[in-house]
């Protein structure tokens, strides 16, 4: 099917010429018959046979292309698909040709509709669909997502000198060609490489920002870099740049008052409690605002406990 579509696209230019050729051959054949006598001499019959053979070839051109360009044999050679995707990813040249591979893989579907070893051919089609999609995710899409994320991280943290980014020393692949691939049709879905990578980055950046909200600026910069370098339409996380939680719960502090006394110091000037030491980047503090938040959460009964 893939080769057939390519042939059809290439022959659109000569479509008018094919019509004129067929018309000319028909005219030659009819002219030979009209001027012929009851019997043909050998040389006259030979000319007519050549003309009829050419006319027959033109009339059966579509059927011949369908037979010769059928790629359903790929069903028995599916092991080459991962190798092909690895080569596409490693070279990253003319990656749009992956459309032809998926068109060839779709040629395997019609013969599968006549399977008799299963109660329903739908089971076979679903297994085939899952196998192809798993291979595509493992050997192309997931690798591309990881590489894009790695490139963004190293670019944002260049001041840390985590890795050698000199393209003259280390080969850096240009992955922008993958985002020019138009959506690939396979079964009842369209596979959009650009949308897949964008969704992965949005999900990863959002989840990591919620875990470490103090890194919001870093992931915001990575979003901007992804939009500039790879033309990805990233979604703004709309997470606060500061925490909005009530902080430490006074009720929990009073339940573990001995831990609080040993770990916190009191700042007389600012009227706040400050954590003595911490393994985190920041020290916890407790002031009147935290007490008010705890009362708002648990009610006024907390004051009796305190």
For 98-118, write each residue's pLDDT tens digit: 999 998 999 888 888 888 888
Q: Quick check: pTM over 0.75? A: no
pLDDT over 70, % of the chain: 75
Low-confidence ranges of the chain (pLDDT < 70): 1-40, 44, 159-172, 213-214, 239-247, 297-299, 301-302, 304-306
All structural domains of the chain with their residue ranges: 2-70, 74-230, 250-305
Residue 174 structure tokens: 């240009």
Q: Measure CA 151 to chain center.
A: 17
Average pLDDT score, the chain: 79
Torsion (CA) 293, 296, 302, 306 in degrees, nearest 10: 20
d(CA 267, CA 286): 10
Query: Rg of the chain over CA atoms, in angstroms?
Result: 35
Residue 270 structure tokens: 């600012």
Residues 181, 98 contacting (CB under 8 angstroms): yes
For 243-268, write each residue's pLDDT tens digit: 445 567 777 788 888 888 888 999 88
């Amino acid at each position: 099917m893939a080769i057939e579509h390519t042939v059809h696209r290439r022959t659109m230019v000569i479509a008018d010429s094919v019509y004129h050729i067929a018309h000319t051959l028909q005219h030659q054949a009819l002219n030979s018959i009209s001027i012929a006598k009851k019997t043909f001499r050998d040389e006259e019959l030979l000319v007519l046979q050549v003309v009829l053979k050419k006319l027959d070839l033109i009339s059966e051109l579509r059927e011949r292309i369908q037979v010769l360009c059928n790629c359903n044999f790929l069903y028995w050679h599916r092991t080459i698909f991962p190798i092909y995707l690895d080569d596409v990813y490693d070279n990253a040249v003319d990656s749009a040709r992956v459309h032809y591979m998926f068109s060839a893989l779709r040629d395997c579907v019609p013969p599968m509709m006549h399977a008799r070893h299963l109660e329903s051919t739908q089971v076979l089609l679903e297994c085939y669909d899952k196998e192809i999609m798993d291979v595509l995710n493992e050997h192309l899409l997931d690798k591309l997502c990881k590489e894009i994320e790695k490139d963004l991280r190293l670019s944002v943290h260049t001041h840390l000198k985590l890795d050698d980014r000199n393209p003259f020393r280390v080969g850096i692949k240009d992955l922008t060609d993958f985002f020019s691939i138009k959506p690939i049709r396979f079964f009842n879905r369209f596979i959009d490489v650009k949308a897949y990578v964008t969704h992965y980055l949005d999900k990863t950046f959002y989840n990591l920002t919620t875990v470490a909200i103090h890194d919001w600026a870093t992931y915001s910069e990575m979003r901007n870099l992804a939009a500039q370098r790879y033309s990805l339409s990233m979604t703004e996380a709309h997470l606060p740049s500061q925490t909005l939680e009530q902080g430490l719960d006074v009720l929990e502090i009073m339940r573990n008052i001995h831990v609080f006394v040993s770990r916190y110091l009191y700042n007389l000037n600012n009227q706040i409690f400050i954590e003595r030491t911490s393994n985190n980047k920041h020290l916890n503090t407790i002031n009147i605002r935290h007490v008010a938040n705890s009362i708002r959460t648990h009610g006024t009964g907390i004051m009796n406990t305190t």
